[in-house]
Amino acid sequence: MRWWGWGDPARAPELPAGALRYLSPRLGSAPRASPPVALASVQLPGTALGRATLASLRAIVGDGAVREDRAERVAHAAGRGYPDLVRLRSGQLEAAPDAVVLPGSHDQVRALLELCAARSVAVVPFGGGTSVVGGVAPLRGSHEAVLALDMRRMGQLVDLDLSSLTVSVQGGMRAAALERYLQARTLTLGHFPQSFEYVSLGGCVATRSAGQASSGYGSIDKMVLGLRLAAPAGDIELPAIPATAAGPGLRQLLVGSEGTLGVIDRLALRVRPAPQERIYEGFFFPDFAAGTEALRALAQQHAMPEVARLSDEQETQTSLAFAGAGRIRDALGRVYLGARGYRRGCLAILGFEGVARELGERRRRARALVRGGGGLAVGRSAGEAWVRSRFMAPYLRDELLTHGILVETLETAAQWSDLTRLHREVGHAIRHALGAAGTPGLVMCHVSHLYETGASLYFTFLAPRRQDDELGQWQAVKQAASRTIVDGGGTITHHHAVGRDHAPWMDAEVGAASLSALRALKRELDPEAIMNPGKLLG
């Protein structure tokens, strides 16, 4: 991954033709280009690890698995949220790990945690480094130093049980690598987050990830059958069993622990037969409320597609402009859509995967519900275009940042009865905060991740970067949106996790008694508080 952003360094970044022409008159002022600085220009603090501790680390993992070089320290100094990218691209890091350590076995992880607890060294577990909420920020808390525990050497498949349809992997295995292995055997995990190209499976479990197809396959917590957590005070190993009534759900207590209790270094996950057929298609709705009601019908009347996304009016308009409005609108029929009252409507993408007969029946019922809710079928071209570009948003974000445009996302989930109101109120809060900063912008949203009781709202906003106070501009919007979400009955995060950015809102989400219970668990498993300071629990 690029040290300053997303993607393969060999892949030339590019913007869709006409994207800047579309955005310029809508963002209020002409942004100023701001490319990233050179790696050599990044301001990097000296290491705080003493020679004796470095020697002890090397004795555990080997000389080549303890890295102090500039490239490794910078690469592990931040995730990929907007504040991370601002700091990386400007070369002004908030902090950096004093070293990067790459364990190769569970015993090495165990020894490293014991050493760090004894020497007052904070430990930040590091998988793919894709956190967008400050989850891998190298904070040391009250400790003398901090190291990044990079799991890339523990990225192997352990076992595939075809009879039980379960796979066991090391925590550092990449989601894309596992999916390639499974697809060669006509299987799938079905977990495709937008970070799919780089994310580790241990990271997915630690952050309670939800993939783009979670409406059909479920989020990662539904896939975890067993796991092993290496904590400073000892190991917790939970076997892969289909179900249990043996006390509270310890698996679910560790899923989402975000590296604050220990390191998830082994996983057992359920897999499924790969779909025999995939059909992705587009539908237009006259407005967002009508589309939301149609998705609710799909969720509650058991016609759920694997992928369901409904863009609001602004996101639909912007997506069409970025994708090449002429081609898509020609395919949809500009005059036809206008005559039917959909000219400024909302585009939905429904994706069905499975065995041909079952898929066909479910799709027929879904299409009937969509038509009954005012949806207009516009064919498979829009759905196939979404599939081709499903992992492209981070690349687009980076290039817009280079052109001086703030691009950020945030998400929540709420019950159906609150969804359209929350969409309206959060959108208003973001627009108001951007306007107050003197940087009016575009606010877009889509519904995704459907449940019988509600769904997720995923907001994207764009504005000119405030060159004199980029982080202050972001913080004002984040605070306004988060406050509105919590006050409006939404969760502070549906799938981005808590990390550092959302930790101040945990009390409002789960209550003081719940936080006290989680902190008590942390004191038991991590008595010296070395694990990922400042995240999840504040």
User: Beta 187-188 vs 166-170: how paired, if at all?
Assistant: unpaired
Buried b (16+ CB within 10 A) or exposed e, 107-136: ebbbbbbebbbebbbbbbbbbbbbbbbbbb
What is the reported pLDDT for 340? 57
Q: What is the pLDDT of residue 79?
A: 98
Does domain 277-388 fall under CATH 3.40.630.10? My reply is no
Phi-psi region of 129 (alpha: psi -120 to 50; beta: other; left: phi over 0): left
Give the pLDDT score at 9: 81
Asked whether 223 and 188 are in contact (CB, 8 A), the reply is: no
- Report residue 468 as tokens: 């004199």
pLDDT of residue 327: 47
Which residues in the chain come in under a pLDDT of 50? 325-331, 333-336, 339
β-sheet bridge partners, residue 101: 66, 149
* Alpha-carbon span 401 to 417, nearest angstrom: 36
What ranges do the domains of the chain cover? 40-150, 157-273, 277-388, 393-497
CATH topology of domain 40-150: 3.30.43
CB atoms within 10 A of CB 170: 23
C-alpha span between 456 and 481 (Å, rounded):
15
pLDDT digits (tens, 9 = 90+) for 480-527: 999 999 999 999 999 999 999 999 999 999 999 999 999 999 999 999
In the block, which residue shows the tokens 């908030």? 94
Both tokens of 97, joined, read 């790990």
Domain spanning 393-497, CATH class: alpha beta
Domain 157-273 falls under CATH 1.10.1240.10: no
Residue whose entry in the numeric block shows the structure tokens 């014991």: 114
Q: Distance between terminal CA atoms of the chain?
A: 29
Please, which residues have CB within 8 angstroms of residue 168's CB and are 6 or more apart in sequence? Answer: 157, 158, 159, 160, 161, 226, 240, 266, 267, 268, 269
Query: What whole-number distance in Å separates Cα of residue 457 and Cα of residue 448?
Result: 7
Q: What is the pLDDT of residue 335?
A: 42
Give the pair of three-digit tokens for residue 317.
Answer: 């308009």
Tell which phi-psi region holds residue 394, choosing left (phi > 0), alpha (psi between -120 and 50) or beta: alpha
- 116: which 2 tokens? 């760090």
Both tokens assigned to 148 = 């990044």
CA distance readout (Å), 351 to 45, 175, 317: 48, 21, 21
Range 366-384 burial, b when 16+ CB lie within 10 A, else e: bbebbeebbbbebeeebbb
